[in-house]
């Protein structure tokens, strides 16, 4: 599905976040339950459905979206449970994600055919009907002048589709399953999509590709807003892919000022941690891989890539750089400066939510929200960048760190550092994007075909700018990130950054 389009589904997701944000900011403890219960009726008012065949189904699905946005699990389908059941356990400062992060809302799933060939109206009933000639199982017949496929015999080989002169045979697949590079989408006993949590790496590509909005991730933004409302001291760290995500008028200085208007004490670029990572991984490559001590090195910043390696290629897990991810390195920098403050990571990535919930990271990153969720918070608080005039300088990083947001940007930053710090070092740089290609390159590395390589993997096709929580088209975001990186006054970080250990 085309990313960045403002579809009715995108607007519906935004409405849920906006209404919940308003409740989180404005409702007191005496009214919050009633206000949350009213959200589905605000989004679907009256007695006529807006998107589906039944208003009751619309409201039921909306209710589940509200629960996930509060960090709560879906309700059982066979038991009466209030929308706000479990709210008291979620309206707390230290609410972490409880896996699974990605969840299928059963009432929203259309039970798409997982793999099916179907004759469409394009069929002309031609005399040649080559589809019948190539079918190895003779499951295609001509009925009433049109081709008909007997699905009980079909082996899904696709030969009929390939020879049809009118392109009259469609291959139908589940969009969510098609987007999943680890084949984690399965079916329940009613034919609806089901995510195998043991296979899933939480990249979120299934969520953004489902045209029915049947897949959603849990959010922590309700807890973040409640913490801001209480007056907690919170500092925001913003991922490099933020450029353009809030409109062309949301300049870096305006974005920082707007975040401080929401109640954040300060704002840092996560590209600062990316600079640390680039300097450190350049050193590791020169000392370990180029010297032959280690066969290859895998970058560490993408959590879906790292989970893929640990789940499916455990023998290569020790080749993942032990460099802190940019999110964690920046958070530790912040907490060294502000030890009594909490930190929220704001970025494009769904998988970062689970990374932050790991016990080794919990003390560093207290909240994770996406650009999509932050946009809803801005709307709920009436912050419109076309009229917002306040500015606050944000300049924490170099062009190398800011370039991390696009596929190839991590490897590119490390390469620049190696050429500057360790001239003459022989380099072999590889980068891949999308989990399917990530699996292929890891297999090649396992077979010994990529020895001497620095391998960058990005779970989302396009890199971080294509993350599940982004707002604008991927290509547009990539262009804006590159432009910002190229315009940076300092191109690469100083070599000394590699020596900083943020324990």
Identify the H or E element spanning 457.
strand 453-458
User: Do residues 426 and 452 touch, judged by C-beta distance below 8 A?
Assistant: yes
Helix/strand/coil for 221: helix
427, part of any domain: yes
Same domain, 129 and 227: no
Q: What are phi and psi of 195, to 5 degrees?
A: -95, 125
Same domain, 394 and 293: yes
User: Do residues 441 and 430 touch, judged by C-beta distance below 8 A?
Assistant: yes
67, part of any domain: yes
CA 229 to chain centre: 27
165, part of any domain: yes
320, part of any domain: yes
190, part of any domain: no
H-helix segments, 186-302: 205-209, 221-230, 252-262, 271-284
* Domain range enclosing 137: 115-173
Same domain, 258 and 356: yes
Same domain, 318 and 372: yes
Please count the structural domains in the chain: 3
Task: Please state, in angstroms and as integers, the Cα–Cα distance from residue 33 to each residue in 12, 59, 82, 98, 258, following that order.
Answer: 21, 16, 10, 22, 29
Residues whose CB falls within 8 Å of the CB of residue 38, separated by 6 or more in sequence, listed in order? none
Q: What is the pLDDT of residue 50?
A: 87
182, part of any domain: no
Same domain, 129 and 202: no
Which segments of 309-400 are extended strands (E)?
Answer: 342-347, 367-370
499, part of any domain: no
User: Do residues 469 and 209 touch, judged by C-beta distance below 8 A?
Assistant: no
pLDDT in tens, 312-369: 999 999 999 999 999 999 999 999 999 999 999 999 999 999 898 887 777 899 999 9
- Number of H-type helices and E-type strands within the chain: 20, 15
Triad 376, 378, 382: Cα angle to 5° = 115
CATH code of 131's domain? 3.30.70.20
Residues whose CB falls within 8 Å of the CB of residue 303, separated by 6 or more in sequence, listed in order? 201, 202, 325, 349, 351, 352, 354, 355, 459
Q: What's the CA gap between 137 and 155, in Å, rounded?
A: 8
Same domain, 138 and 203: no
Same domain, 136 and 89: no
Smallest CA-to-CA distance from 148 within 118, 182, 175, 179 is with: 118
pLDDT in tens, 125-169: 999 999 999 999 999 999 999 999 999 999 999 999 999 999 999
pLDDT in tens, 90-125: 877 676 667 789 999 999 999 998 999 999 999 999
Same domain, 269 and 363: yes
Same domain, 335 and 404: yes
Q: What's the CA gap between 174 and 157, in Å, rounded?
A: 17
215, part of any domain: yes
User: Do residues 468 and 204 touch, judged by C-beta distance below 8 A?
Assistant: yes
Which segments of 48-139 are extended strands (E)?
Answer: 102-104, 115-119
Same domain, 82 and 163: no
- pLDDT tens digits for the chain (503 residues)? 668 788 999 999 999 999 999 999 999 989 999 999 999 999 999 999 988 989 999 999 999 999 999 999 999 988 889 999 999 888 776 766 677 899 999 999 999 989 999 999 999 999 999 999 999 999 999 999 999 999 999 999 999 999 999 999 999 999 999 999 999 999 999 999 999 999 999 999 999 999 999 999 999 999 999 999 999 999 999 999 999 999 999 999 999 999 999 999 999 999 999 999 999 999 999 999 999 999 999 999 999 999 999 999 999 999 999 999 999 999 999 999 999 999 999 999 999 998 988 877 778 999 999 999 999 999 999 999 999 999 999 999 999 999 999 999 999 999 999 999 999 999 999 999 999 999 999 999 999 999 999 999 999 999 999 999 999 999 999 999 999 999 999 999 999 887 675 54
Q: What is the pLDDT of residue 218?
A: 94
Same domain, 120 and 267: no
Same domain, 276 and 131: no
Q: What's the CA gap between 306 and 275, in Å, rounded?
A: 19
């Amino acid at each position: 599905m085309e990313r960045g389009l403002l579809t009715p589904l995108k607007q519906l997701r935004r409405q849920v976040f906006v209404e919940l944000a308003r409740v989180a900011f404005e409702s007191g403890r005496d009214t919050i339950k009633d206000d949350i219960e009213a959200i589905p009726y605000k989004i679907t008012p009256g007695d006529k459905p807006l998107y589906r065949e039944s208003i009751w189904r619309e409201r039921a699905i909306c209710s589940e979206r509200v629960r996930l946005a509060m960090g709560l699990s879906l309700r059982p389908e066979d038991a009466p449970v209030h929308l706000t059941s479990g709210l008291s356990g979620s309206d707390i400062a230290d609410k972490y994600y409880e896996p699974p992060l990605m969840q299928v809302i059963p009432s929203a799933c259309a039970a798409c055919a997982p793999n099916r060939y179907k004759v469409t109206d394009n069929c002309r009933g031609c005399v040649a009907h080559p589809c019948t000639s190539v079918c190895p199982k003779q499951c295609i017949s001509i009925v009433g002048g049109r081709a008909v496929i007997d699905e009980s015999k079909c082996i899904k080989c696709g030969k009929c589709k390939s020879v049809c002169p009118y392109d009259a045979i469609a291959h139908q697949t589940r969009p969510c399953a098609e987007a999943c590079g680890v084949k984690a989408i399965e079916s329940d006993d009613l034919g609806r999509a089901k995510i195998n949590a043991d296979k899933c790496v939480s990249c979120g590509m299934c969520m953004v590709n489902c045209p029915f909005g049947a897949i959603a991730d849990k959010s922590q933004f309700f807890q973040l807003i409640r913490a801001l409302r209480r007056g907690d001291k919170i500092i925001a760290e913003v991922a490099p892919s933020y450029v353009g995500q809030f409109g062309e008028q949301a300049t870096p200085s305006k974005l920082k000022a707007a975040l401080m208007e929401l109640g954040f004490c300060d704002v840092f670029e996560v590209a600062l941690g990316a600079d640390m990572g680039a300097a450190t991984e350049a050193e590791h490559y020169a000392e370990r891989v180029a010297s032959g001590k280690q066969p290859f090195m895998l970058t560490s910043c993408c959590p879906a890539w790292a989970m893929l390696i640990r789940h499916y290629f455990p023998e290569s897990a020790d080749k993942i750089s032990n460099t802190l991810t940019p999110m964690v390195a920046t958070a530790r920098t912040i907490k060294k400066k502000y030890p009594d403050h909490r930190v929220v990571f704001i970025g494009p990535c769904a998988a970062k939510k689970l990374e932050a919930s790991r016990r080794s990271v919990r003390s560093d990153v207290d909240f994770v929200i996406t650009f999509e969720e932050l946009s809803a918070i801005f709307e709920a608080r009436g912050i419109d960048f076309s009229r917002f005039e306040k500015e606050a300088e944000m300049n924490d990083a170099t062009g190398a760190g800011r370039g991390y947001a696009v596929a190839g940007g991590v490897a590119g930053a490390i390469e620049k550092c190696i050429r500057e710090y360790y001239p003459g070092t022989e380099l072999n740089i590889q980068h891949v994007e999308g989990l399917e290609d990530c699996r292929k390159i890891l297999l090649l590395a396992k077979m010994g075909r990529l020895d001497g390589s620095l391998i960058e993997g990005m779970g989302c096709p396009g890199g971080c700018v294509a993350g599940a929580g982004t707002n604008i088209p991927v290509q547009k975001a990539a262009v804006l990130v590159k432009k910002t990186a190229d315009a940076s006054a300092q191109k690469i970080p100083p070599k000394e950054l590699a020596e900083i250990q943020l324990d």
